[in-house]
Structures are given as structure tokens and as C-alpha cells.
């Protein structure tokens, strides 16, 4: 969502690099570009004015003028101000001393409250709670049925005494839902209410009546992060009518400019507590202002990445692998498959890679990333026998042809996977000997990596320096290189030009951008004699 804003801010900060001291004109130009970027992102005007004024004041202060690197100090100031705009500290749910804790959801029609109720219920269940979803949206057609289906998928109980579709009293249903939760020993109640407009006085009064009847511990305003500055007006109306305690951003994975996320906390004074980041029930996370600010500034979000990895990877399997690894056993294709499945369990690989620092520069390659590659890898590995997975060296031509046919892939695909796996084995052996991680490259399959273009990260799809069709073939044995540096440079240049086009198992393309050929190198006078053999 914040890709456009992130790109604009990154381009602005690049203009400050290399300057030992920032003049007032430099600061004004930077603040002007930041203001334009925020306005283009549809951030509310009062928020933009306050933000720009704070950044300018701090950028002209002694903390920047006395810094060793003024450009980095300005980035730090912008990061801290963004954290403040997004709410400052991470706000957690307040649980009642005497259960059940009542959480009421309110918001506009179509904001995604019912789906979010299921996501919140699933998240609470994973935290060790026993939530109950109450279907108090009796206005929208099939809203009760939708909540029942979502609750079943999330593994959460649903209280739905009325069929809905305009039938029943939502205030009475909410009151009875809290009483049922108390009887059935549910410690959290999530009340799903009907969507309403800020200008609809009757529906807003109904929401106020539900609040009075249930006395909720939290009233969460569910806002569509894609509606821009209108979110601020709507949030203010709900704040006045229902008295919100927190905000939940839905559809944060959309392609809108993100103005709502950067505006609603500052304008309403209520913190953003959760964010819905996808369509799946697991695409739901606690909102951390500092981490979101880091994502916007292309600093990555490694903490969230680690938390997702801890949930996705089985601790016992990881311990077993570490034990076998320490005892000298080799990395097998079964282990390789387990790691790939763990990556898939973490969710979208695009989203996961986007949490790494500096990935803004690879956004176009991330967009063309093929998420189905993990499935193709799994199909190939599962077409092998247990012996072949343990000892890939037995895979001769006929076995590879059988595996390709069984997985619906080509022999070339099988060969590429085995080449990448061989690189992963070498890396693991080197680590066991204390050699560290040898030459980890860039994003798998994006063309940056070990030993040249198209290297990628060994052991991951699209990585490995031996992947066929990705790098220029080495000179054939027996063909001696010229001892003349100029002639040898011509030979290498001709070999590079005749190399097949770079490809990728991910479909990203392993382009040759940034690669230098010997003619382009500027050598010091007399240095040629050191190149001879």
C-alpha cells in the first residue's frame, strides 16, 4: 500500500547523501518534497502540516547540524515523526478483570467487519483465549450466515439466535450474547454490528444502544485503509457517536495510497491496534507503529518476519535438523522440502521478502514473483523415492526423466532444482566447518547473487550459481586463455555476449544489469602486468 510513498521518500533522501552539512535551503527542499509525497498519499492536510513543521524544526536544530552524518539524522527524524503520526506506542487489548471481555466492532458498510471478526476470533484463540462471536448485524442480507461460516473456518464459536435479514433486535442479541458467553465460560466476546454511515443518526443511535447494553471493554472502529481522507471524517463521526477506544485497519494489502493509516490515529487520538493484511484468516497482525514506519522508509520489518517464522516452522523439526547437522549428517532433499513448506506456511513470499531492508529497489521484481514455484518444487521432490531424496547422486538420466514425467515438469526443471540443492548442501557443509555463509546473494531469482548475475541465494528457489540458463558457461577445458590482457578481455567479452539470456525458476528474469565487462574497467597505469599468467 505504501509503495508510492516509500519510493518518493527514498528518492528525497538520496539527494541528501554525501553532504557534510545541510543548509536551510537543503532542509526546506527536503521538507517540501516530503509534504508533496504525503499529500499525494492522501494524508489529511492537518496531519501533513504538523508533520512537515516538526520535521523542519528538528532538521534545523543542533541535533542535525552537529551530527556526523546529517542525511542519516534527517531520516531518523522522519522515522520518529512517522512513528508519532501512526500512534507512538503499540497498543494492546485491555482485558477485563472479571471475564468475559467484550469487544464491539463498529464501522462503515463494506469495511470488512464480519471477516475481521473471524480473524480477531482466530487470533484470540491462538493467544489461548476462548472467544465467542456474536452476530448482531441483523441488517445486511446474509450477514449472520457469513459470520457463522467465518467462525467455523476460524474454529471459533458463534452466537446467532436470530436469522437476520432485517429480522430481530440487535441490541437484545448483543445483550444475550454477553450473557451466553458468561454461562458457557467464554472469556472474550466479539460483537459484530451492522455497518452504518456517519450521517445516519438512527443507525448511530443503535450502535450507542448496543454499547450501553454490553458495556464493552474495547470499541474498535474498523476502517477501510483504501478510502483516503474520508476515513478521518468517518472516524470522527463514530468517535462522537460511539466513543471509540481503538482503530483496526482493513485491506492494508490494497494498492491505495495509504492516507487513512497515516491520518486516523492523529486526527482521532485513538491508536491503531490491528491491521488486516490479506484475505486469509491468518492475515491479521498487531499494529506496531515503529515497524510500519520502518516499512514505509524501506528499512524493513525483520521483527515481524522473525515472529512469522517462529509460528511457521516446527520447533521440534528445527531442533532435529540442528542435531543431525551437528552430528555430521548431510542436508537431504526431505530437509529441503521441509524448509520450502515452512516458507509457504509463513504466507505470501512476496510479502515476506518485502519485509527485508532495501527491498524497495527490487519492487518490480517482487511484483513479478511467482508464488507457485514452491508447489512446483514440492511436486518434483515428492516424485522421488526415499532413496533418491537421501542420495541425489543416484539420479541418473532415466530417473530424472521419470521424476519430470511424474511431477509434470521438464528434465531441465529437475536439473535446475538439483543444482540449487547441491549449492545448499555445500553451504551447509561450509557452515559446519566454520566457514560461515558463503556469498549469499540478493533476492532469489532476481539476477543478483553469488558469483555473478542470476546467482540468487543458495538453497532457495531460483538461487544457486549452477542453475542452468542463468549464467554464462565457463570456458571449455583445454582451451587456453591468452596471456595478453587485451586479447583475453576480448575473449571474455565475446563469451559474455554469447551467453544465453538469464532466466529464473521464479519467472523474475535474472538480467545482466550492472555487470561490467573488462573493457569497461579503468586500470591504473602499469597494472596490466599483474593480469598475465
Q: Does the annotation list 192 as a binding residue?
A: yes
Q: Is the dihedral of CA 127, 354, 52, 43 positive or negative?
A: negative
Q: Does the annotation list 460 as a binding residue?
A: no
Q: Does the annotation list 344 as a binding residue?
A: no
Q: Does the annotation list 108 as a binding residue?
A: yes
Q: Does the annotation list 207 as a binding residue?
A: no
Contacts of 315 (CB under 8 A, 6+ apart): none
Q: Does the annotation list 283 as a binding residue?
A: no
Q: Does the annotation list 251 as a binding residue?
A: yes
Cα dist. 273→21, 248, 267, 422 in Å? Answer: 39, 6, 15, 45
Q: How far is CA 358 from the centre of its chain?
A: 13
Q: Does the annotation list 193 as a binding residue?
A: yes
Q: Does the annotation list 196 as a binding residue?
A: yes
Q: Contact at 8 Å (CB) between 79 and 294?
A: yes
Rounded Cα distance between 426 and 447, Å, is 21
Q: Does the annotation list 20 as a binding residue?
A: no
DSSP for 352-399 reads: HHHTSTTGGGGHHHHHT--TTHHHHHHHHHHTS-HHHHH-GGG--HHH
Q: Does the annotation list 435 as a binding residue?
A: no
Q: Does the annotation list 240 as a binding residue?
A: no
Q: Does the annotation list 253 as a binding residue?
A: yes
Helix (H, G, I), strand (E, B) or coil at 104: strand
Cα dist. 175→32, 156, 213, 215 in Å? Answer: 52, 19, 6, 9
All three cell numbers of 256, joined, read 491505495
Q: Is the dihedral of CA 9, 14, 15, 18 positive or negative?
A: positive
Binding site per annotation, positions: 107-114, 192-196, 250-253
Binding site per annotation, positions for GTP: 107-114, 192-196, 250-253
Amino acid at each position: 500500500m505504501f509503495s508510492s510513498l516509500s519510493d518518493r521518500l527514498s528518492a528525497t533522501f538520496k539527494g541528501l547523501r554525501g553532504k557534510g552539512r545541510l543548509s536551510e535551503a537543503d532542509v526546506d527542499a527536503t521538507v517540501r518534497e516530503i509534504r508533496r509525497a504525503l499529500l499525494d498519499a492522501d494524508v489529511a492536510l492537518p496531519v501533513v502540516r504538523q508533520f512537515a513543521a516538526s520535521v523542519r524544526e528538528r532538521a534545523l536544530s543542533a541535533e542535525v547540524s552537529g551530527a556526523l552524518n546529517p542525511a542519516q539524522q534527517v531520516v531518523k527524524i522522519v522515522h520518529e515523526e512517522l512513528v508519532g503520526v501512526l500512534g507512538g506506542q503499540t497498543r494492546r487489548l485491555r482485558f477485563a478483570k472479571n471475564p468475559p471481555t467484550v469487544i464491539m466492532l463498529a464501522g462503515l458498510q463494506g469495511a470488512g467487519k464480519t471477516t475481521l471478526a473471524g480473524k480477531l476470533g482466530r487470533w484470540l484463540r491462538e493467544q489461548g483465549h476462548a472467544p465467542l462471536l456474536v452476530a448482531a448485524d441483523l441488517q445486511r442480507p446474509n450477514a449472520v450466515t457469513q459470520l457463522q461460516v467465518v467462525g467455523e473456518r476460524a474454529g471459533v464459536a458463534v452466537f446467532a439466535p436470530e436469522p437476520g435479514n432485517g429480522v430481530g433486535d440487535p441490541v437484545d442479541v448483543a445483550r444475550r450474547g454477553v450473557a451466553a458467553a458468561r454461562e458457557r465460560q467464554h472469556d472474550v466476546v466479539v460483537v459484530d454490528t451492522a455497518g452504518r454511515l456517519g450521517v445516519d443518526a438512527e443507525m448511530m443511535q443503535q450502535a450507542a444502544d448496543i454499547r450501553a447494553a454490553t458495556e464493552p471493554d474495547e470499541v474498535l472502529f474498523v476502517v477501510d485503509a483504501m478510502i483516503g481522507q474520508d476515513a478521518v471524517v468517518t472516524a470522527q463521526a463514530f468517535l462522537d457517536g460511539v466513543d471509540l477506544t481503538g482503530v483496526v485497519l482493513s485491506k492494508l494489502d490494497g494498492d491505495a495510497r495509504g492516507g487513512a493509516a497515516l491520518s486516523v490515529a492523529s486526527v482521532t487520538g485513538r491508536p491503531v491496534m490491528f491491521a488486516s493484511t490479506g484475505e486469509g484468516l491468518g492475515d491479521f497482525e498487531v499494529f506496531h507503529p515503529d515497524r510500519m514506519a520502518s516499512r514505509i522508509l524501506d528499512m524493513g520489518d525483520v521483527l515481524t518476519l522473525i515472529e512469522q517464522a517462529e509460528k511457521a516452522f516446527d520447533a521440534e523439526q528445527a531442533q532435529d535438523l540442528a542435531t543431525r547437522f551437528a552430528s555430521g549428517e548431510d542436508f537431504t532433499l526431505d530437509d529441503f522440502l521441509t524448509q520450502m513448506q515452512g516458507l509457504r506456511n509463513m504466507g505470501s513470499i512476496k510479502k515476506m521478502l518485502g519485509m527485508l531492508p532495501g527491498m524497495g529497489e527490487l519492487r518490480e521484481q517482487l511484483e513479478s514473483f511467482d508464488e507457485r514455484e514452491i508447489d512446483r518444487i514440492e511436486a518434483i521432490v515428492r516424485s522421488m523415492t526415499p532413496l533418491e531424496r537421501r542420495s541425489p547422486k543416484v539420479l541418473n538420466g532415466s530417473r530424472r526423466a521419470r521424476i519430470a514425467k511424474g511431477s509434470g515438469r521438464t528434465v531441465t526443471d529437475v536439473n535446475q532444482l538439483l543444482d540449487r540443492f547441491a549449492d545448499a548442501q555445500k553451504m551447509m557443509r561450509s557452515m559446519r566447518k566454520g566457514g560461515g555463509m558463503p556469498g549469499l546473494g540478493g533476492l532469489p531469482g532476481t539476477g543478483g547473487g553469488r558469483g555473478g548475475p542470476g546467482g540468487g541465494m543458495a538453497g532457495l528457489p531460483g538461487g544457486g550459481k549452477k542453475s542452468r540458463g542463468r549464467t554464462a558457461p565457463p570456458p571449455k577445458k583445454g582451451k587456453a586463455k591468452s596471456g595478453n590482457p587485451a586479447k583475453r578481455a576480448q575473449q571474455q567479452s565475446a563469451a559474455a555476449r554469447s551467453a544465453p539470456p538469464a532466466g529464473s525458476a521464479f519467472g523474475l528474469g535474472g538480467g545482466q544489469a550492472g555487470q561490467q565487462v573488462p573493457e569497461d574497467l579503468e586500470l591504473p597505469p602499469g597494472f596490466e602486468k599483474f593480469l598475465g599468467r
